[in-house]
Amino acid sequence: MLFHVRMDVAVPRDLDPDERATLLATEKARALELQRTGVWVHLWRVVGQYSNISVFDVSGTDELHDILWNLPLFPFMTISVTPLTEHPSALSANP
């Protein structure tokens, strides 16, 4: 199942700089790992915002919840999820 996910990030400004650097490096490593396994299909920065628009390809809501809940940045993100299905006018639906 495909899900459109928006993540708005708000890391506290007073977070220790070393902690912040470690947190972001850990998040990046996890994001790369999930992209390499094909689960995190798209990852785009929203222009001018500390936000991303992503597409995940997972077995269902439980897997997506588990992935998002365990992201290192999860405590500092507001996340919105939209389930996707094939559009009847998409090329993929009209071979």
Ligand X SMILES: O=C(O)C[C@H]1C=CC(=O)O1
Binding mask 62-91 for ligand X (x = CB under 6 A): -----------x------------------
- Cβ atoms of 2 and 84 closer than 8 Å: yes
**Site size for ligand X, by CB under 6 A?**
8
| Binds ligand X (CB under 6 A): choice among 2, 4, 9, 57 | 9
Q: How far are the Cα atoms of 18, 39, 54, 57, 82 from residue 92, in angstroms, in the given order?
A: 46, 20, 20, 16, 20
Residue 11 touches ligand X, criterion: CB under 6 A: no
| Binds ligand X (CB under 6 A): choice among 5, 27, 34, 56 | 27
The amino acid at residue 53 is I
With H, G, I as helix, E, B as strand and everything else as coil, classify residue 18: helix
Residue 7 touches ligand X, criterion: CB under 6 A: yes
